[in-house]
């Protein structure tokens, strides 16, 4: 029987029941087909006719080490051996290097090492005529078996997950999503750390494309969270703000921090994530502001080099060229009569009065449609 087998990350192994429940509850946001999700002694089995689609989806969730397309067989030694050899014969091509990896629980009546050795030697006899050869260090193909007391799962293809903790294990976090690489990577790392996100998105004066780029980043982050619904907070800064031109203006980092911290307080969430520069007065102001309101502030991507950021962005699925950072600019917030607001707290409160809340029930967001709805 074909199924998807999900292995939790080492950090999430003790919370496998929580991860299983999250996957089961969230899949309707991503697929329409039928499925069942069960914990099977250290792994999660998903029975579904859409094994490839489900494996791809689940492999993006935090707390997942990998999701594999597996053949489920009985735990009998000879049956598992036959499945391993059969899978290897099908997937190993001419002149490829290959290996066999068997992970088995104790007290099965046989050792994983014995099964692995016999499967490897049998495969050598089957495929050596094609020029294929074993190579434990740099194999082109690996034939895996995951064996428990209940069942054995044999597979040759697995989608590697992000690892980390299941969503919600670390509480909630308001994540400021900006149209930059650093914002995308930072938000993804916070989600990987087990925080359930409440997304905060703004538009920018005189930058009509910025909102759409932020929503594209939001879509990449949303599909990595095993939740049936998430919340988006949208603040229309562009309507009540203008770039520069006033002594009452605020640096973007200060205004964004004020919005995020106050949004977190209003939503009763103790953590806020945004991209921060590591030097200058703005950083000190942001940290003081967060401490004053009792909100923890995270900026996990601030220390990364451009090369490291782009490696993470590629892993997340970013395909468009984006700037690394927003850059520092000054914004003036205007009240109803068009006069500048000089107090930062007052400006943030004023902007948050008209915050829009959107329930993100779709796992895969349509960035164009959502941008149109917010505009």
pLDDT in tens, 15-65: 999 999 999 999 999 999 889 999 998 999 999 999 999 999 999 999 999
Look up residue 306 and give its two tokens: 């451009």
What is d(CA 37, CA 39) in angstroms, rounded to the nearest whole number?
Answer: 7
pLDDT in tens, 138-156: 999 999 999 998 999 999 9
Could you give the percent of the chain with pLDDT greater than 90? 76
Give me the helices (H) in the chain, please: 16-26, 51-58, 77-91, 112-127, 181-192, 208-222, 237-240, 252-266, 281-292, 306-316, 344-352, 367-374
DSSP summary character for residue 340: B
User: What pLDDT does 204 receive?
Assistant: 80
247 band by pLDDT with thresholds 50, 70 and 90:
low
245 band by pLDDT with thresholds 50, 70 and 90:
low
pLDDT in tens, 7-21: 999 999 999 999 999
pLDDT in tens, 289-304: 788 889 999 999 988 9
Of the CA atoms within 13 Å of residue 292, those in its CB half-sphere come to: 11
Mean pLDDT of the chain: 92
Strand 230-235 to 195-202 pairing: parallel
What is d(CA 102, CA 122) in angstroms, rounded to the nearest whole number?
Answer: 15
What is d(CA 27, CA 43) in angstroms, rounded to the nearest whole number?
Answer: 17
What is d(CA 360, CA 227) in angstroms, rounded to the nearest whole number?
Answer: 10
Q: Are 262 and 293 in contact (CB under 8 A)?
A: yes
pLDDT at 205 over 90: no
Domains within the chain, CATH numbers bracketed: 2-162 (3.30.2130.30), 171-374 (3.40.50.620)
Strand 36-39 to 44-47 pairing: antiparallel
pLDDT in tens, 118-135: 999 999 999 999 999 999
180 band by pLDDT with thresholds 50, 70 and 90:
very high
Q: What angle do CA 110, 20, 200 make, to 5 degrees?
A: 140
SS3 assignment, position 306: helix
């Amino acid at each position: 029987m074909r199924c998807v087998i999900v292995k939790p990350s080492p950090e999430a192994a003790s919370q496998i029941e929580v991860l299983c429940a999250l996957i089961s509850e969230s899949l309707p946001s991503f697929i329409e087909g039928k499925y069942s999700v069960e914990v099977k002694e250290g792994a999660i089995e998903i029975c579904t006719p859409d094994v490839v689609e489900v494996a791809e989806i689940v492999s993006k969730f935090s707390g997942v080490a990998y999701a594999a397309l597996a053949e489920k067989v009985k735990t009998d030694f000879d049956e598992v051996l036959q499945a391993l050899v059969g899978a290897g014969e099908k997937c190993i091509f001419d002149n490829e290097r290959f290996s066999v990896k068997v992970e088995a629980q104790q007290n099965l009546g046989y050792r994983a090492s014995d099964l692995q050795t016999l499967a490897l030697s049998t495969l050598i006899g089957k495929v050596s005529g094609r020029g294929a050869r074993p190579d434990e260090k740099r194999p082109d193909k690996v034939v895996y078996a995951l064996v428990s007391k209940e069942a054995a799962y044999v597979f040759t293809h697995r989608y590697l997950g992000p690892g980390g903790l299941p969503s919600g294990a670390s509480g909630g976090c308001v994540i400021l999503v900006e149209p930059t690489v650093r914002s995308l990577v930072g938000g993804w790392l916070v989600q990987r750390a087990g925080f359930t996100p409440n997304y905060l998105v703004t538009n920018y004066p005189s930058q009509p494309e910025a909102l759409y780029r932020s929503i594209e980043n939001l879509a990449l982050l949303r599909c990595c969270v095993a939740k049936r619904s998430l919340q988006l907070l949208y603040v229309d800064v562009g309507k009540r703000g203008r770039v520069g031109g006033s002594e009452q203006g605020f640096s973007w980092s200060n205004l964004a921090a004020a919005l995020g911290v106050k949004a977190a307080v209003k939503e009763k969430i103790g953590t806020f994530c945004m991209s921060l520069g590591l030097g200058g007065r703005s950083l000190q102001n942001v940290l003081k502001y967060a401490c004053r309101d009792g909100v923890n502030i995270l900026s996990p991507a601030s220390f990364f080099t451009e090369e490291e950021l782009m490696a993470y962005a590629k892993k997340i699925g970013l395909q468009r060229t984006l700037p690394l950072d927003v850059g520092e600019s000054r914004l003036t917030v205007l009240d109803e009569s068009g006069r500048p607001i000089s107090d930062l707290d007052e400006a943030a409160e004023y902007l948050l009065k008209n915050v829009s809340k959107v329930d993100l029930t779709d796992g895969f967001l349509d960035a164009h449609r959502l941008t149109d709805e917010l505009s």
